[in-house]
Amino acid sequence: MSDSNVCDREITRGRDVVTRRIADETLIVPVAGGVGDLDAIYTLNAVGARIWQLLEGPTTARRITDAIQQEFEVSPEQAEQDVTEFLTALERARLVVVAG
């Protein structure tokens, strides 16, 4: 998520994950060989859960940032920073796929 055109590149969820909503928490479980990796469960806060929801289909970081800014009433700079950091973490954990 570090090059300058990343905001316009398509991003989507990886195929090897399972998502579950339990009570007020969203959990992401990576799957390897058909088995969930229970040592690598991710619990998302409200903003993370919304970003994950927006990643159900191909989208861009720019679209996600716009949605987060509007829905959570944060500055454009704060939304961009939060989205970039979160998408970078998801990419490092191989939970998302970035086109190109």
Is there a contact between 25 and 78 (Cβ–Cβ < 8 Å)?
Answer: no
Q: Which residues of the chain have pLDDT under 70?
A: 1-7, 32-39, 100
CA distance 39 to 80: 30
Helices (H), 1-100: 46-54, 61-72, 76-92
pTM score, whole prediction: 0.84
Task: Kindly list the structural domains of the chain, giving each domain's residue range(s) and its CATH number in brackets, ordered by start.
Answer: 6-93 (1.10.10)
